[in-house]
Amino acid sequence: MDDTLLLAARALVLADLEARHRATPEAVDALEDACSNRGWWAEQWPQGRVYVAGLIAQDVQDALFETVGRWPMCLVCDPEHPEHSLYIEPDIGGPSPHWVCEESGRTVAPLGHLREAAGRADLTG
């Protein structure tokens, strides 16, 4: 299989980990494991390639939840709301995966663009 798909997905998820200061060794290990597992999955189901990036993000979310807690947290809602996280939509991870607030249902950012979403949150309060 061409590694371009996995490298692109890895770059998107890593950008979001870095945007939220979660690119720890544990998180990067989880990312590498997810890429390896989804690479095999994409080889078995070539039509599923459009879902790989979102599924890798979900796999990393699940792995981090078990070790360090929820990621990524929502930074765009009113600070008076209880702490809550984002999730990938569409649920199966693609095509065009994006982060959605679990409280408001509002689309926050495309996968790989949480840094820009944080900048908008700083401007809005």
How many folded domains does the chain comprise?
1
| pTM to 2 decimal places | 0.89
DSSP 9-36: HHHHHHHHHHHTT---HHHHHHHHHHHH
Using alpha carbons, select from 105, 1, 2, 15 the residue that is nearest to residue 56. Answer: 15
What are the helix (H) ranges across 20-113?
25-44, 52-67
How many C-beta atoms lie closer than 10 Å to residue 102's C-beta? Answer: 13
- The string of pLDDT tens digits covering residues 3-37 is 899 999 999 999 999 999 999 999 999 999 999 99
Q: What are phi and psi of 37, to 5 degrees?
A: -65, -40
